[in-house]
Amino acid sequence: MTQQQENLTAKKQRICQRLSALGQAHICAYLEQLSEAEQDAMLRQIDTLDLSILDPECADEQRGVFTPLYATTLEEIDRNRSRFTEAGLAAIRAGKVGAVLLGGGQGTRLGCEHAKGMVDIGITRELFIFECLMNNLRRVTEQAGAYIPLFIMTSVENHDETEAFFAEKNYFGYSKEHIRFFRQEQLPTVDPEGRLMLSAPGIISTAPNGNGGWYASMENTGLLHELRQSSIEWLNVFAVDNVLQSIADPCFIGAVIESGHVSGAKVVAKADPDEKVGVLCLEDGRPSIVEYYEMTEEMRTLREPDGNLSYRFGVILNYLFRVDQLEETLNCKMPLHKVFKKIRYMDESGNTVRPEAPNAYKFETLALDLVKLQKNCLAYEVEREKEFAPIKNKTGVDSVDTARELLRRNGIML
């Protein structure tokens, strides 16, 4: 046996021991069908994967005691609008504000082949989701007379096409120097029995690790080093798929800064008690988000003396974080959520399967869990019709059709 073969055998033994202990012996059996070179490549990939997620100990966290959290309401904001806005604009002009676009999702419900931001939702003209966001951001930079550094998180799969798309569209009129792209990490996916899957011959299937790890991914890609040397003190984090997303909103930023809170979340009043939206609340006294399926009947229907729902304010994935507080979260382990999705895989005959319905689990950290690591969070109410037009599904609720209708109502030509 050559030295190389000995090394390969030792590596295979080490990795297969670990895989077998985690109930993944089928991968070891599969390895045996491969040539030495293919085995070597596959073992190298496995060595880069975080297999600890397969450990049953690493399950969803236990929740604490929830209590309502009150928001700065539309009326309060209206009364203070000019003061908040001036404070926000001053922060932007001083270079204290950056924005982070979370664009690493797979958009499996919408079923897009490319990055979701590349979807054209125009009717009589081209209007890309990214374009809607960049138009919204440009409105603020024009008002402030200063650029806001924009960090765009991508996935391994859509990184190159996202960068190329922005370049092809001339950065939608934004300053190229103020845009940085960074990749998020991947985690293995598993079938309903918890078994690792293959995405192609000799390759374990992986998927982006959720939207909660964006700050850690900025660290891993070296961007935090740059951020620390910059004047940025606040980061506005937002989802790619809300085409009415108000980015680096000066009034929101000013309100959070004036309040002395270390974070803020844009929220909308729930349309009815059963609306399927995560609600900003307190959990064991800390800001947190309770998912609609975690709410008891009592929580869903509890009302304040004025008749409003106590758990009333739904989050829209638009948060403001103070950078020095985010630094402290880098050492915290964020909970991993198992999400059942449509995941492309290779079957036993070597055919690629593109499932029509959810078939496997991916593991995600969630941005909302980052809120829980903050000392406090200002809930800031916004008008749903003006700021919330998410595109999640092909048809029906939160689809291109509903988003178009909301864009129209806001005077945007399609």
**E strands in 110-194:** 150-154, 179-183, 186-188
- Cβ distance 101 to 153 under 8 Å? yes
Alpha-carbon dihedral angle through residues 200, 42, 204, 348, given to the nearest 10 degrees? 50
Question: Which residue is at the shortest CB distance from ligand UTP?
Answer: 105
Residue closer to ligand UTP, measured from CB, 89 or 187: 187
CA separation, residue 274 to residues 293, 297, 298, 383 (Å): 10, 9, 12, 19
Question: Residue 317 Cβ, how far from ligand UTP at the closest point, in Å?
Answer: 6
Task: Report the alpha-carbon distance of residue 94 to residue 106 in Å, rounded.
Answer: 35
Residue closer to ligand UTP, measured from CB, 106 or 288: 106
Residue closer to ligand UTP, measured from CB, 15 or 152: 152
Question: Residue 334 Cβ, how far from ligand UTP at the closest point, in Å?
Answer: 13
Question: Residue 214 Cβ, how far from ligand UTP at the closest point, in Å?
Answer: 7
Question: Residue 41 Cβ, how far from ligand UTP at the closest point, in Å?
Answer: 25
CA neighbor of 99 nearest in space, from 261, 289, 319, 288: 319
Question: Residue 4 Cβ, how far from ligand UTP at the closest point, in Å?
Answer: 37
Residue closer to ligand UTP, measured from CB, 184 or 374: 184
Question: Residue 113 Cβ, how far from ligand UTP at the closest point, in Å?
Answer: 13
Interface residues with ligand UTP (CB under 6 A)? 102-110, 116, 153, 184, 208-211, 239-241, 317, 341, 364, 392
Task: Report the alpha-carbon distance of residue 194 to residue 24 in Å, rounded.
Answer: 9
Residue closer to ligand UTP, measured from CB, 12 or 341: 341
Question: Residue 35 Cβ, how far from ligand UTP at the closest point, in Å?
Answer: 33
Residue closer to ligand UTP, measured from CB, 316 or 373: 316
Diameter of the chain measured on Cα atoms: 80
Report which DSSP code applies to 279.
Answer: E
Task: Report the alpha-carbon distance of residue 4 to residue 251 in Å, rounded.
Answer: 62
Residue closer to ligand UTP, measured from CB, 99 or 102: 102
Tokens of 376: 């406090």
- Give every CB contact of residue 185 below 8 A, 6+ residues apart in sequence: 208, 209, 213, 216, 217, 220
Task: Report the alpha-carbon distance of residue 38 to residue 266 in Å, rounded.
Answer: 49
Please report which residue ranges of 263-351 form alpha helices under DSSP H: 297-301, 323-329
